[in-house]
Amino acid sequence: MSCVNGVGVEVNTASKQLLTYVSGLGPKLAQSIVEFRNENGPFKSREELKKVARLKNKAFEQAAGFLRIRNGENPLDASAVHPESYHIVEKMATDIGCSVKELITFPMNQAKIDVNKYISDKVGLPTLEDIRSELSKPGRDPREKFEIFEFAKGIEKMEDLKPGMKLPGIVTNITNFGAFVDVGVHQDGLVHISQITDGFIKNPADVLKVAQRVTVTVVEVDLARKRIQLSMRQGKEKHPELKHKKLHKEDADKKLKELMEKFKKEQ
Alpha-carbon distances of 189 from 35, 117, 151, rounded to whole Å: 22, 52, 14
Residue 131 domain-assigned? yes
Q: How far apart are CA 222 and CA 229, in angstroms?
A: 8
Determine the residue type at 262.
K
* pLDDT tens digits, one per residue of 51-80: 998 888 888 888 888 888 888 888 888 888
pLDDT, position 64: 85
Question: Residue 104 maps to which CATH number?
Answer: 1.10.150.310
**Type and span of the H or E element at 190:** strand 189-192
Residue 236 domain-assigned? no
> Are 199 and 254 contained in the same domain?
no
pLDDT, position 143: 41
**Type and span of the H or E element at 167:** strand 166-175
Task: Confirm if 217 and 164 have CB atoms less than 8 A apart.
Answer: yes
> Are 99 and 163 contained in the same domain?
no
Residue 64 domain-assigned? yes
pLDDT, position 241: 44
> Are 115 and 170 contained in the same domain?
no
pLDDT, position 237: 46
pLDDT, position 245: 46
pLDDT, position 195: 95
pLDDT, position 124: 87
* Domain housing 262: 241-267
Pairing mode, if any, of strands 227-231 and 147-149?
unpaired
Which has the closest alpha carbon to 228: 266, 178, 264?
178
Q: How far apart are CA 188 and CA 44, in angstroms?
A: 28
> Are 105 and 58 contained in the same domain?
yes
pLDDT, position 183: 92
> Are 263 and 214 contained in the same domain?
no
pLDDT in tens, the chain (267 residues): 444 434 568 888 888 877 887 878 888 898 899 999 988 888 999 999 999 988 888 888 888 888 888 888 888 888 888 888 899 999 999 998 999 888 888 888 888 888 898 898 888 888 888 888 888 765 544 444 445 677 888 888 999 999 999 999 998 888 899 999 999 888 899 999 999 999 899 999 889 988 888 999 999 999 999 999 999 998 754 444 444 444 455 666 666 667 667 656 655
> Are 117 and 72 contained in the same domain?
yes
Collapsing DSSP to helix, strand or coil, 9 comes out as strand
Which has the closest alpha carbon to 81: 119, 34, 132, 44?
132
Q: How many CB atoms lie within 10 A of CB 7?
A: 21
Please, how many CA atoms are within 13 Å of residue 15, restricted to the half-sphere of its CB?
A: 21
> Are 198 and 100 contained in the same domain?
no
Alpha-carbon distances of 76 from 14, 82, 152, rounded to whole Å: 19, 8, 24
Q: How far apart are CA 37 and CA 32, in angstroms?
A: 8
> Are 14 and 122 contained in the same domain?
yes
> Are 15 and 141 contained in the same domain?
yes
Chain centroid, CA 35 distance in Å? 20
> Is the pTM here over 0.85, yes or no?
no
pLDDT, position 255: 61
Chain centroid, CA 124 distance in Å? 32
> Are 136 and 178 contained in the same domain?
no
> Are 264 and 135 contained in the same domain?
no
> Are 131 and 182 contained in the same domain?
no
Q: Count of domains in the chain?
A: 3
pLDDT, position 243: 45
Among 149, 177, 206, the domain boundary falls at 149
pLDDT, position 227: 93
